[in-house]
Amino acid sequence: MIYNIKNTESIVKGVVHLPTSKSISNRLLIMSALSENKLIPKELSDSDDTNVMLNILNSSFPEHNAGHAGTAMRFLTAYFACKPGEVILTGSERMKNRPIAVLVDLLTELGATIEYAGKKGFPPLKIKGAKLKGGKRSINSEVSSQYISALLLIAPYLHGGLDLSLKGNMVSASYINLTLQLMKRAGIRYSWNNNNIKIEEGNYHAGVFHVEPDWSAASYWYEMVALAEEADIFMPGLTSDSLQGDAALALIFESLGVKTVFEENGVSLVKTKPTTDFFEYDFTLNPDLVQTLIPACVLKNIAFRFIGTQTLRIKETDRILALHNEMKKFGVQLDYTENGDCIAWDGKTVFKQVESVLIDTYEDHRMAMGFAPIALVSREININDPNVVSKSYPGYWKDLAMTGFQVEDLETKM
């Protein structure tokens, strides 16, 4: 399937009801399951990732497929390791090539019985659950914060709790903080000093938890306001005191020409003038925003240097290679280090209008959503495999159509 996206007037206006956060939803679902459903999440995300988590947790079958959902794979690995019974946990072909040994090794140290049912170090996994012992442990924090969050979520249910030392340069620490703040709201006591996190043994308290709108999804509307010639976007439900690390958008986009106005019931985006022609930023805390910022900067002719991007290599796809390939279609040459910890553009390879360009999405929702706003400048763009947005933002194309874009299925037209 291919969608043709047009916005010939370069105008984007409307009220956008964002999906709720899948990051919060998936954490609350694990917490709810461990509390024997005494903790009740409300307004869960309708994303593929959350539906996968919900379906697996509610299934009585011994085999489970997490598909492309990395969060579900990591969180469920830890969850099933501490619950009685045997399960097999697998995923898509891409998931079978995403490493999980760091998490499996530490769970094994805690007393879990986990076998690799395929390639060593990767899913699928055969897990035999049991009551695990906590204590002092250490983990490499340079690979994925999801490993750490998975461990933290089950930590109150380990005998003696968990005293976890984080080794190396931590990535995506904002997601670790999100996990801890949700746990605190559910009655769990913890301390986080430098690179050491201690979780006390306990139980998640009963109660109702409401899920916030997704700040990561808001990023695409920031990008659209930056790129449009005329814009007026309001997003209900977003707040300045959000638990989500990607709320940093409000500060990030100021220099790119978007002002955030926090109102009583949401956020208004106001188009302003960019204040820089070179943008440098460390995305260690916010790697999911890179696919939004690169097209935005290139089309605003703002050269950039982004660091802290190394985890993009092991996401739904190799996001650095995907960005390189797709920007090259517009004549833009991105420079990046071999390990992916830096991506840069010097502004010399200028964006070129390309008629009927087709953007490949690599089974990655953020490639589709980050590149579609290019239509505000090029007036037209084609997106391959557009349904991939269902992973996090199923209503994305509908929202585009409601705010000034023409969205057409080329296969249906044929």
CB 107 within 8 A of CB 77: yes
- Residue 406: enclosing H or E segment and its boundaries? strand 406-409
**Kind of pairing, strands 125-129 and 113-116?**
antiparallel
Cis peptide upstream of residue 62 (ω within 30 degrees of 0): no
CB 369 within 8 A of CB 294: no
AA letter at 265: N
How many beta carbons lie within 10 A of that of residue 238, not counting itself?
24
Tokens of 222: 């920031």
Contact in structure between 50 and 44 (CB atoms under 8 Å): yes
Cβ(114)–Cβ(81) below 8 Å = yes
Give φ, ψ of 64 to 5 degrees.
-135, 140
Residues involved in catalysis: 288
Residue 192's Cβ-count burial label (10 Å; 0-12, 13-18, 19+) is: middle
